[in-house]
Amino acid sequence: MIHPEDVIAAKRDRRALSTEAITAFVAGVGDGRVVDAQIAAFAMAVVLNGMNARETADLTRAMADSGRRLRWDDLAGPVVDKHSTGGVGDKVSLILAALLAACGAFVPMVSGRGLGHTGGTLDKLEAIPGLSVEADGAVMRRILAEAGCAIVGAGPDLAPADRRIYAVRDVTATFGSEALIVASILSKKLAAGVGHLVMDVKVGSGALLPDEDAAQDLAQALVTTAAEAGLACQAVLTDMDQVLGRTAGNALETAEAIAALRDPAQTEPRLLAVTLALAGAALALAGLVDDAAAGERQAMSALHDGRAAERFARMVRAQGGPAGLVDRPERHLAAAPTIVPVPAPEGGVVAAIDVRALGEAVIDLGGGRRRPGDAIDPSVGLAAVAEIGQRISQGEPLAFVHASGDAEARRIVPHVRRAFRLGGEAVTGAGPVRRVVTG
């Protein structure tokens, strides 16, 4: 008999866990024998002491097998997905799912909620009134038939161990572990029956693992662990030293994603570049085009001719959202009652941004959770966020705070202001797409 406390003690004492120990612990998480306090202690021990490649693969497999696995053998196209390691302002999934479907892929995207200071795709989608992210295999099949893409949460029978571990990690500062991130992401993808996966691995101050070397190792671990489990995977390292796009916060990001689908020419260039790079990689990985460059071209034309927007509208309808959302998003998405600027204390060029602090500011406004199950205010967040290299005069806004009231807004403004460092020189950032990691 393997007891959870023995598994925790072994990891606390820096020992490698046997396959049996990991399997038993995760089975206990899945069936409720392991309590939340034990999950938290286990997660903290893994954050502090790490896991080797074999342990990470075992954890991934055990979590994927904690529920059922979906199969899509009857679909007339490749089953493709993209997942991000988490960022601030990262609304790419909302655009990309529809874009890949418009290019001939089927996308059963099982997404997550906010984790730590990062936002969650499900929370963004739930800013759409009436839209449901709850779906079992049969409901997902229906949505895929209608739209070619579905963005849903892992239901109670899909990698249920991840559901519990994720919720505990979110509120115990235990999200920043390579092994836990790999197992969390890949277990959901394996359970969802995905055949081809493109990973967006974030690097920079807003990433779960900010350091470039750690992000590179994470990308490699994702690609290798996925390949071992029979999942074709490529990773793209992308910049998270600034908010992706101009907004952070659930309804604001959903509106920005819809605007990108409607009018790609007006899309913030870094957001467009990351979306197209991931689309190109995914379409090539799935064999729908010869190479990533051809994939980017195909994705660009699906954005420009409105096919991607049309897929998004179909998906929203199939998931219970309103019919006119894409044409008139402002009619349906919640707007915050108070909007105030964050004036720059001095003039200069934006030299650096503490993106994690901006993510924390969104949570403090009510746009994320401090405890599992906390309600989210979809309307709050940050808009028109300044970018690195932007020249700002004294008093000009660094961002606008969207808040539930004046007091809330006033409380958050100084935190947002402190997140920006202004300098004298124009800075050229590393670019939105840093490199691709293949198997």
Query: Any idea which residues carry the catalytic annotation?
Result: 81-84, 121, 169, 184, 188-189
**Residue span binding ligand URA (CB under 6 A) among the ranges 130-138, 176-184, 299-307, 411-419:** 176-184
* Residue number of the CB atom closest to ligand URA: 184
What type of residue is 57? A
**CA 350 – CA 359 distance, rounded (Å):** 18
**Is 51 near ligand URA (CB under 6 A)?**
no
**Residue span binding ligand URA (CB under 6 A) among the ranges 74-82, 90-98, 181-189, 215-223:** 181-189
CB of 217 to ligand URA, least distance (A): 15
**CA 315 – CA 163 distance, rounded (Å):** 24
**Is 240 near ligand URA (CB under 6 A)?**
no
**Is 86 near ligand URA (CB under 6 A)?**
yes
**Residue 82 or 332 having the CB closest to ligand URA:** 82
**Is 179 near ligand URA (CB under 6 A)?**
no
Which single residue is written with the structure tokens 């691995």? 201
Query: Strands across the sheet with 420-423, in order?
Result: 391-392, 348-353, 420-423
CB of 439 to ligand URA, least distance (A): 20
Which single residue is written with the structure tokens 């707007």? 335
What type of residue is 119? G
Q: For ligand URA, which residue of 28, 108, 112, 137 counts as binding (CB under 6 A)?
A: 112
**Is 185 near ligand URA (CB under 6 A)?**
yes
**Is 181 near ligand URA (CB under 6 A)?**
yes
**Residue span binding ligand URA (CB under 6 A) among the ranges 73-81, 88-96, 180-188, 321-329:** 180-188
Residue 153 tokens, joined: 């949460």
Q: Is the C-alpha dihedral spanning 106, 71, 83, 329 positive or negative?
A: positive
CB of 284 to ligand URA, least distance (A): 23
Q: Whose CA is closest to 380, among 364, 369, 396?
A: 364
Strands 338-343 and 232-239: unpaired
**Is 85 near ligand URA (CB under 6 A)?**
yes
**Residue 169 or 196 having the CB closest to ligand URA:** 169
**Is 322 near ligand URA (CB under 6 A)?**
no
Q: For ligand URA, which residue of 95, 99, 102, 115 counts as binding (CB under 6 A)?
A: 115
CB of 235 to ligand URA, least distance (A): 13
Q: How many CA atoms lie within 13 A of 293 on its CB side?
A: 0
Q: Whose CA is closest to 340, among 406, 391, 414?
A: 406
**CA 250 – CA 259 distance, rounded (Å):** 14
| H helix runs in 148-268, sequence order | 160-170, 178-191, 212-228, 250-262
**CA 313 – CA 105 distance, rounded (Å):** 17
**Residue 180 or 231 having the CB closest to ligand URA:** 180
Helix axes 137-147, 307-318, angle to 10 degrees: 150
**Is 66 near ligand URA (CB under 6 A)?**
no
**Residue 184 or 267 having the CB closest to ligand URA:** 184
User: Which residues on neighbouring strands pair with residue 403, listed in sequence order?
Assistant: 338
Q: Whose CA is closest to 416, among 308, 320, 344?
A: 344
**Residue span binding ligand URA (CB under 6 A) among the ranges 7-15, 94-102, 178-186, 353-361:** 178-186
Residues that bind ligand URA (CB under 6 A): 85-86, 112, 115, 180-181, 184-185
